[in-house]
Structure 1
Amino acid sequence: MDIEAAFHVVGEFGPYQKRAVTVLVLAQVYMACQSMLIVLVGATPQYRIDQPDGVQFSQQELPQHVTFTEEVDSIVTEWFLIRQQAYKVSLAGSLFFAGLLVGNVVFGPLSDKIGRRPVYLTGLFFEVVFGYVTAFAPSFEVFAASRLLVGLMNGGIGLVCFVLTQEYVGKSYWATTGTLTSMTFAVGIALFGALGYFIRPWRSLAVVANSSGVLLFLLSVTLPESPRWLYSQGQTERAEEVLCYMAARNGNAANSLMLRRVAAAGQHHRRQTGVLQLVIHPVLRLRTMVLMYVWAGRRKSMASFLCLAGSACLCTMFIPENTGTLLSVTSLALVGKLMVSAAFNIAYVYSSELYPTVIRNAGLGVCSMSCRVGGILAPFVPSMRALHTSMPFTVFCLSGLSAGCLGLLLPETLNRPAAETLEELSSPTHGRVLESKALLYEDDKWKSNHK
């Protein structure tokens, strides 16, 4: 049988998979805390400088003349990151997100080549180590370097963690596990805010936020390798062992489970997989170009969510800002934000369905990279109000509408098997872009109707 049929025998989302996915989903809380750490540990309290008229202090003399008027313990108060040194707080945050960007690109292809489990465990281990370096950093320079390395690990294992939640279960549950992952990351941000309320010293906060990673690492050691990745690499015997292990923990008998042998194809793909295939392969090239622009949901969902977001932004251009009714700029902007969030939640699930297992993480890494670049450019959009008050909403409107239209170039994946190898993309089921009505039926029914 193929891998999807095997999951029907093993159990698509049995008790064992639920426990494994729970561990991976909880890892999102830890990664969210690391992502938001600089917001609290970099807080700048009110201060005054006792500086007589005409007297200039050097940076070394400044601590003797500064008095912080708020009881805040942060890297600002410890290393006096004020005045000319205030940029260092933003620098530390930027270094983290720079590491995040590089981690997305580097760890994705690496996990496609050597496996999901070793990359995930190694990345999580070093993120915990560098997280403690952050907490006990003796100087700002060490602190900034540790944030860069934590971001590198965080960006890498975030993608691998998400893909594992998909590849441990049957395809019909990918939307469920993907949505849980996105939701839990948002919950982690909220929990970190509450944690910061009760733990004020920044070093203590960094230690507590990082210590949950130790528990997660110990729980993650027991997780198996992705059976889908093993199958796509031609390691069918190991894939069978993992599936039988899952079946036993789920209480299902799978003694006679035997996968279709794809050893030759697996060896071939180990030589030809990589980021370069996203450019060389014609199907992957089109999908990657579109996804890098839209980074949005299933074809029908994407068109509706993004076009609704663009339409909401368009409507704000013709409504006065001080309108007191429900139909105001604020309410419409929130509707647009709701639609964008819905589309973004589907982005990971849909992208993982479009890319074959042998190159899934590399594709997600490139798409995520484009998302990070978009996040860098987005803060500059509000400054366009200097040209015209409606200009920011015009930009968001056009990007939403164009992304929704471009999404129509991507195939529907609902109720269709996910591709495991690059060769499968050449089949009509996976390779076609625009679908005719007849091809929406099952292949055997389509053939019987057109004999």
Structure 2
Amino acid sequence: MGDVDNDLEELMSRLGDFGKYQAWQFSLHVISALTAGMHMMTLVTVAAVPDHRCAIPGVDADNFTAHWNSSEVLDSIPRSELGALDSCRIYGANGTTTDCDSWVYDTTYYRSSRGMEWNFVCSRRWMGALAQSAYMIGVFTGAVTLGSLADTHGRKKIFYTSSVLQTILGVSVALTPEYFSFLVLRFLYGVFGSAGAYITGFVLSMEIVGPSKRTVCGIAFQAVFAVGIMLVAGWGAVIKDRMWLQIVYGLHGALLMGHWWLIDESPRWLWAQGRTKEALAIIQKGLRMNGNDANVDVARYVSRGKARESSRDERAYGISDLFKTPNLRKKSVNVCLNWFANSIAYYGLSLGTGSLKGNPFLMLFLFSLVELPSYVVTVLLMDRTGRRSLISTTMILGGLCCVTASYIPQTDYRSVVVTISMLGKAFIASSFAIIYNYSAELFPTVLRNTALGVGSMCARLSGAMTPLIMLLDSLDPRVPAVVFGCLALVSGFLALYLPETLNQPMPQSLDDGEKFGVGDTCFASCVRSRSAKDRGVYEVALQDSDYKEIDKDTDRA
């Protein structure tokens, strides 16, 4: 699977898989997942579009709105075949229907929102979709730019810069009074709110914990991300003013403000940069916290580090290195598609909770809560089944749930649709969690943050497309879910061509990354397993026949 730096692995093994030091650092890193989940889904409540109907001239006014089932309303607004009021048209002169230009909103759950202020309805639905897409495009941009910067300038610097800026932007976006300024701030909010701190925090954790704990820590990041979404629902149910609601969301970034003095730079990154002495200082600090009194021969490691440094390639690694060599290129394309499909299905199901009947805060909360048992099962299975088979299975099952739920009438079988959709969310949440761990293990240290950044970039590209794809429900309500489901099915199958990383050392150099997993696919493993089994049966049969021949010879004698 490629060579690894034996000196570094020896030191990291002394540190242990998960002692007090790793637990302390992980508890600091994982807060970035909480804020990322919250920032990602704020628009679901801050820009919510509740049930609405056309405002009737002469009947509805600022201080009075007619009851939805009053005779004035029923006589002025056309109804669908199922008896629901048309939300975009009103009767005009001579009984003709015309598009309305003002609306009345159901305030049962929402008193104010950007969607109600700026009327993200009917021919203006694109404005709400574009606002969510602007955030995802920001995450897309941050994933690729900040991911590369973290590989060249260090994880800690990018983590903290993003932490400060996400707090400032999270509050600023609540105060802007104009739509296009709002879009610009949403874009910048996405760059730093759900990309910089979250991705670098994840990588920092993956690079200090041992192989046996990477699964648990990686999945814990996704679980805390889901808790962040649950907080979106919780605060949305309590705070009814959209401005103060967004300010509260934004201020959660302050939880990361003290991290510059609390978290350490990744010793793996420092080692890969030739900064051996700094890496050793952090490892020694970790050993002391973990109660390990082992003596580290600093002079020996530093001298050997200088020898490596003199022969080390000084060039900086970037995105292009993921695609230059055949094996890395195949893995990169496959992983990118996996990120893309996971994200579009995950956010399609998350953003689609608003279209389900019932309390929108409860629906958003439940669709996030269902992820937690999914993560527990994933943790229990990942180190038994491996990454490859589990991610493929969960994606295929999640895709089937998406497609199935879209063909069941919600009016007649609401509970069935909700149940299948929640199952789909659980499966996709599981596969989305696995791809974070899987990506970190597939790529070498010199490209790890870049690879995660590119993967996250693909996820955010599909995330940016998700609100726009959901507008296709005007053609047929089933189209968005079918698109999401089919992408998950295709990517789930292609994941079988990725190498297994379970119990394998993490590659360090670019050469390690290219050698890692050559020829290892699910199908090749099955063939090898079958060949070994057949060979075993043949050898047993041969041994039995030999014994029979020996017995015959003995009898003749």
The TM tier, using the shorter chain, reads 0.7 to 0.9
Query: Counterpart of 2:285?
Result: 245
Alignment of 1:373 onto 2:461: yes
Alignment of 1:303 onto 2:369: no
Quick one: which of 520, 532, 555 aligns to 1:433?
Answer: 520
Structure 2 counterparts to residues 15-26 of structure 1, below 5 A: 15-26=20-31
Contact 1:167/1:228 (CA < 8 Å) preserved in 2? yes
Which one is further off, 202-211 or 44-53?
Answer: 44-53
Contact 2:34/2:225 (CA < 8 Å) preserved in 1? yes
Cα distance change, pair 127–377 in 1 and its aligned pair in 2 (3 A): closer
Quick one: which of 314, 317, 320 aligns to 1:273?
Answer: 317
SS in 2 for 1:2: helix
Tell me the distance in 1 between the aligned counterparts of 2:392 and 2:156. 35
Structure 2 counterparts to residues 255-270 of structure 1, below 5 A: 255-256=295-296, 258=298, 259=301, 261-263=304-306, 268-270=312-314
Alignment of 1:414 onto 2:419: no
Query: Counterpart of 1:286?
Result: 330
Query: Counterpart of 1:226?
Result: 266
Contact 1:307/1:404 (CA < 8 Å) preserved in 2? yes
Contact 2:49/2:115 (CA < 8 Å) preserved in 1? yes
Query: Counterpart of 2:189?
Result: 150
Task: Report how far residue 152 of structure 1 moved.
Answer: 1.0
RMSD value, Cα: 4.0
Tell me the distance in 2 between the aligned counterparts of 1:265 and 1:200. 60
Give, as a single letter, the amino acid of the residue that structure 2 aligns with 1:253.
D
Contact 1:232/1:266 (CA < 8 Å) preserved in 2? no
Give, as a single letter, the amino acid of the residue that structure 2 aligns with 1:191.
L
Alignment of 1:211 onto 2:251: yes
Query: Counterpart of 1:175?
Result: 215
SS in 2 for 1:280: coil
Tell me the distance in 1 between the aligned counterparts of 2:503 and 2:211. 8
Task: Report how far residue 387 of structure 1 moved.
Answer: 9.1
Cα distance change, pair 265–133 in 1 and its aligned pair in 2 (3 A): farther
Contact 1:351/1:364 (CA < 8 Å) preserved in 2? yes
SS in 2 for 1:123: helix
Contact 1:233/1:269 (CA < 8 Å) preserved in 2? no
Contact 1:269/1:421 (CA < 8 Å) preserved in 2? no
Give, as a single letter, the amino acid of the residue that structure 2 aligns with 1:29.
L
Which one is further off, 296-305 or 153-162?
Answer: 296-305
Cα distance change, pair 121–376 in 1 and its aligned pair in 2 (3 A): closer
Alignment of 1:33 onto 2:38: yes
Structure 2 counterparts to residues 369-408 of structure 1, below 5 A: 369-376=457-464, 380=469, 399-408=487-496
Cα distance change, pair 123–266 in 1 and its aligned pair in 2 (3 A): farther
Which one is further off, 163-172 or 181-190?
Answer: 163-172
Structure 2 counterparts to residues 331-350 of structure 1, below 5 A: 335-350=423-438
Alignment of 1:115 onto 2:154: yes
Query: Counterpart of 1:137?
Result: 176
Contact 1:293/1:370 (CA < 8 Å) preserved in 2? yes
Please list every run of 5 or more consecutive structure 1 residues that lacks an aligned counterpart in the other structure. Answer: 55-61, 442-451
Give the greater-gyration-radius structure (CA): 2
SS in 1 for 2:289: helix
Contact 2:328/2:514 (CA < 8 Å) preserved in 1? no
Tell me the distance in 1 between the aligned counterparts of 2:321 and 2:396. 31
Task: Report how far residue 378 of structure 1 moved.
Answer: 5.6
SS in 2 for 1:72: coil
Please give the per-residue CA displacement for 1:337-374, whole angstroms capped at 9, x wherever unaligned: 43333222101000100011111111112222222333
Cα distance change, pair 84–343 in 1 and its aligned pair in 2 (3 A): closer
Give, as a single letter, the amino acid of the residue that structure 2 aligns with 1:362.
T
Contact 2:136/2:464 (CA < 8 Å) preserved in 1? no
Contact 1:116/1:164 (CA < 8 Å) preserved in 2? yes
Contact 2:444/2:506 (CA < 8 Å) preserved in 1? yes
SS in 1 for 2:505: coil
Please give the per-residue CA displacement for 1:169-199, whole angstroms capped at 9, x wherever unaligned: 1122111111000011111101121112222
Contact 1:233/1:265 (CA < 8 Å) preserved in 2? no
Quick one: which of 8, 13, 26 aligns to 2:18?
Answer: 13
Tell me the distance in 2 between the aligned counterparts of 1:375 and 1:290. 18
Cα distance change, pair 351–264 in 1 and its aligned pair in 2 (3 A): farther
Please list every run of 5 or more consecutive structure 2 residues that lacks an aligned counterpart in the other structure. Answer: 1-5, 59-91, 94-100, 343-385, 533-557
Tell me the distance in 1 between the aligned counterparts of 2:456 and 2:30. 19
Give, as a single letter, the amino acid of the residue that structure 2 aligns with 1:239.
A
Please give the per-residue CA displacement for 1:27-69, whole angstroms capped at 9, x wherever unaligned: 2221222112222222346587574699xxxxxxx9xx98877
Task: Report how far residue 304 of structure 1 moved.
Answer: 3.1
Cα distance change, pair 303–84 in 1 and its aligned pair in 2 (3 A): closer
Which one is further off, 208-217 or 83-92?
Answer: 83-92
Cα distance change, pair 210–198 in 1 and its aligned pair in 2 (3 A): same
Please give the per-residue CA displacement for 1:400-449, whole angstroms capped at 9, x wherever unaligned: 4543442232221111100111122355x5544346649xx9xxxxxxxx
Tell me the distance in 1 between the aligned counterparts of 2:397 and 2:104. 51
Contact 1:125/1:217 (CA < 8 Å) preserved in 2? yes
Give, as a single letter, the amino acid of the residue that structure 2 aligns with 1:117.
K
Query: Counterpart of 1:447?
Result: none
Tell me the distance in 1 between the aligned counterparts of 2:482 and 2:133. 28
Give, as a single letter, the amino acid of the residue that structure 1 aligns with 2:392.
A
Which one is further off, 202-211 or 241-250?
Answer: 202-211
Structure 2 counterparts to residues 321-340 of structure 1, below 5 A: 335-340=423-428
Task: Report how far residue 292 of structure 1 moved.
Answer: 1.7
Tell me the distance in 2 between the aligned counterparts of 1:430 and 1:173. 21
* Count of aligned positions: 426
Structure 2 counterparts to residues 61-210 of structure 1, below 5 A: 70=107, 72-75=111-114, 87-154=126-193, 155-210=195-250
Tell me the distance in 1 between the aligned counterparts of 2:258 and 2:173. 21
SS in 1 for 2:112: coil
SS in 2 for 1:38: helix
Cα distance change, pair 256–185 in 1 and its aligned pair in 2 (3 A): same
Tell me the distance in 1 between the aligned counterparts of 2:230 and 2:492. 30
Which one is further off, 125-134 or 235-244?
Answer: 125-134
Tell me the distance in 2 between the aligned counterparts of 1:66 and 1:403. 42
Tell me the distance in 2 between the aligned counterparts of 1:392 and 1:105. 27
